[in-house]
Amino acid sequence: MSQTGPLFGRATPWGVLVLAVAVAYLAGARVGFQLALVDMKITPLWPPTGIALAALLLFGPRIWPGITVGALAANAMVGGEPLVAFIGISVGNTLAPLAAYYLLKRLGFRSEFDRLRDALMLVFAGALGAMLISATIGSAALAGSGTVSRFWTGWTVWWTGDAMGVLTITPLLLIAPRFRWPRHVPAGRWFEAAVVGAGTIGTAVLATTVPATWLFLIFPWLIWAALRFEQAGALCGALAVCTIAILAAAHGWGPFSLMTVPLRMITLQSLDGSVALTALLLATVTVQRNRAEAEVAQACVQLNEMVARIAPAQSLRGAVLDIIQNISDRPPRDP
């Protein structure tokens, strides 16, 4: 288990951790339900799944009851499902993060999240693979109870929502314990960060509110954020873009107003998936590259220090050898 910052650590009582996870799950669910597209229950971005997986990776599987309690409370908040569906959804929402946790650990995933292979494992094993469990169980429970009439539509959005929660929320929470407020940063750097943030949000709002299809204009900003501000900048930008796009799709703004509901969901899922993958993978590659450059620079410094310590001794040794060689080369004197 890795260090998790000043609020929670290894010595935190189990009950406190479980309660904190349940509260965080419920808070994320309140946000997620505001973005629902299918029957006001299934959303293309479900933050609680990302919160649950991050909690498991940071604190271990012992906190799983907090996920279950949070899922039960979230389902009770909206209500309307029969008891079987209510329990089934909560079970699926608990099993999927647990399956993702054990699968990632089996593959050697590190919570430091500073390698490209960690990002790829989170994408394919944690998001796309394990979230099939919650999507299948939850959609089947709702369809079986008659709450949702279109199983495959609900399944697609459910799977996308859980996967997007893992891709956008989990990395942010994993890097949060290592975040330190930057000091002695030049004013130009702050100005650049403000430009990138304003440009990302402004472009996302513009692209999702005008009828023209300008959604591709978002990607240069995300690339800039990833190359210059690594994971923190890129992931925050991706989360903001995905949220704005979901709101636009839910209300039929901009280019989504010209689309049917199925096409709207396909376009939204493609956009959010591309945004999350671009930000996550490029930012992780940037972190890995910068770390390698720092290690090379540190090795160069150490090598220079070793040369500086060895050079005087070598010079003295060379001078002594030269004197000895000169003496031995002199011809002997005649008696």
CB atoms within 10 A of CB 13: 8
Q: What is the pLDDT of residue 80?
A: 63
- Looking at residue 333, what is its pLDDT? 52
What residue ranges of the chain are covered by domains with CATH 1.10.1760?
Answer: 1-179
Q: What pLDDT, on a 0 to 100 scale, did the predictor assign at position 6? A: 47
Please give the C-alpha separations between residue 49 and each of 24, 45, 55, 69, 95, in angstroms, as whole numbers. 11, 9, 10, 13, 11
Quick one: pLDDT band at residue 274, thresholds 50, 70, 90? very high
Which residue, 163, 247, 231, 244, is CA-closest to 200?
A: 244
- Count CA within 13 A, CB hemisphere, residue 94: 23
Provide mean pLDDT across the span 55-69.
94
Q: Which has the higher per-residue pLDDT, 251 or 327?
A: 251
List C-alpha distances in Å: 212 to 141, 216, 260. 39, 11, 16
Helix (H) or strand (E) holding 233: helix 218-251
pLDDT at 155 > cutoff 60? yes
Q: Which residues pair with 110 in a beta bridge?
A: none
Computed over every residue of the chain, the mean pLDDT equals: 85
- φ, ψ (nearest 5 deg) of residue 44: -75, 0
Most distant pair of Cα atoms in the chain: their distance: 123
% helix / strand / coil in the chain, to the nearest 5? 80, 0, 20
pTM, two decimals, is: 0.83
244 close to 204: Cβ distance less than 8 angstroms:
yes
Q: Of all helices (H) and strands (E), which one includes residue 105? A: helix 83-106
Q: What is the pLDDT of residues 106-143, one digit of tens each?
A: 999 998 888 899 999 999 999 999 999 999 998 888 88
Q: Six-digit token pair at 273?
A: 């998936």
In the prediction, which pLDDT does 3 show?
43
pLDDT level of residue 226 (50, 70, 90 thresholds): very high
CATH number for domain 1-179, candidates 2.60.40, 1.10.3470, 1.10.1760, 3.40.50: 1.10.1760
